[in-house]
Amino acid sequence: MGEPFLIQTERTLIRKLTFDDAEFVYQLQQSPGWKKYIGDRGVHSVHDAIHYLKEGPMRSYVLHGYGLFLVQLKSGQKIGISGLIKRDYLGYPDIGFALLPEYEGKGFAFESASAVLHYAMKYIGIDRIQAIVMEENKKSIQLLEKLGMKDLGLQLFPGQERPLKLFEIQIEKK
């Protein structure tokens, strides 16, 4: 049957990634936007995607209780990922998102990222989330600002060749 859905939005269903998603993860990581703004994560085959899933999102679910999640349309079409990443050099979880090119610019990234922020606060108990983004990634910067995240400026992080913009949001507990 697959993983149960953690989050439902108006147009999407969001759940943990499984090995059944390896082909989709491979396809997503070959997209131009992924390569330009996220970079090579060593996924050059479906086999590599299985290893990425095991050592990345699935490991994160166990260690941190969160990770990157699959975003799919209610029709079942897989369109992207959205979720939280624990980075050693950030003080708080980092929100990340990526969509297949044909689904960009349609509001799905904002819809899923907003839902992930809400889920993080309500169900995981996280009250502060950060994001890192390349300075030239204007669409992601606009999305982070629309989410209410504050631009903390450019910073050079370990393992990065150049500074990245750091964003942060404090989620108010209701």
Q: What domains can be seen in the chain, in order of their start residue?
A: 5-170 (3.40.630.30)
Q: At residue 79, what is the residue type? A: I
For the stretch 104-146, pLDDT in tens is 999 999 999 999 999 998 989 999 999 999 999 999 999 999 9
Residue 6 near residue 67, CB atoms below 8 Å: no
Partnered with residue 73 across adjacent β-strands are 12
Q: At residue 144, what is the residue type? A: L
Please name the residue that has the structure tokens 């044909």.
102
Please name the residue that has the structure tokens 């610019």.
105
Q: Which of 54, 159, 76 minimizes the C-alpha distance to 68?
A: 54
For the stretch 65-104, pLDDT in tens is 999 999 999 999 999 999 999 999 999 999 999 999 999 9
